Amino acid sequence: MQPEIESQSANDAKWFHVVFNTYGTWLPGDPRGFRTRHHREHVEGDYRSPPPSGIYEGRYARSRSLLRKNPIRLNKPERAAALEAIVQKLWERRTIPVAVAVGAEHVHIVLKCPPQFVKKFIGQAKKNASFALSDEGIPGKVRAKGCRATPVKDRSHQLNAVRYVLRHESSRAAVWRYSAPHATEEVGPSTPFGSPPHSG
């Protein structure tokens, strides 16, 4: 069966900067800042400008008490395994991931995909990473629920997002770069990319 995305016009695909976390590492009430699901509640501050100290201490304590297991923080081999699984699944779904970084607690992806499929395909990639990490000795759920998929506004935003993701290599994230004949047009010659994986 052909990937669902193939039935969509190429013009339907848009660029996104996707971010998600490992299980239990960014919870409601987190002192670094947080957002409620679908922004149902106004929350003071964010990760750039954290909320006043202690304002959500009770909520954070409750969130931690509800965890079913310890927070997941990936070591170097685990980051590499998760990276390979995520890119492989996105490639299978015929999306165009151009930069992926898997850190101890966060994953950043810049990809092109029809908007109606972004969260579905990211969910499949997360599930594939969980399967891969089970072989590394991490059973069960590895990724937190949901993701943040920010639409890329223009070429400048695209370039900045890609460079931002690739910079995570300096903080020991496992990083993947995409190279294709159209990379100069789509991403720009100043951004280095490596070769895509072989699927199948």
81 shares a domain with 176 = yes
81 shares a domain with 59 = no
Q: What is the pLDDT of residues 59-106, one digit of tens each?
A: 656 655 556 767 888 999 999 999 999 999 999 998 989 999 999 988
Residue 196 lies in a domain: no
Using CA atoms, how far residue 48 sits from 32, 96, 195, in Å, is 8, 29, 33
In the sheet with 174-177, reading across from the earlier edge strand, the strands are: 148-151, 14-21, 106-113, 96-102, 174-177
The CATH number that applies at residue 166 is 3.30.70.1290
Give the global pTM: 0.70
Q: Could you list the residue range(s) of the whole structural domain that residue 39 is in? A: 28-66
51 shares a domain with 10 = no
115 shares a domain with 51 = no
Residue 198 lies in a domain: no
60 shares a domain with 119 = no
Instruction: Give the residue-averaged pLDDT of 20-29.
Output: 72
14 shares a domain with 40 = no
50 shares a domain with 12 = no
79 shares a domain with 140 = yes
Q: Are the CB atoms for 70 and 24 separated by under 8 Å?
A: yes
133 shares a domain with 86 = yes
Q: How many domains does the chain have?
A: 2
Q: What is the pLDDT of residues 146-164, one digit of tens each?
A: 788 999 999 999 999 999 9
84 shares a domain with 18 = yes
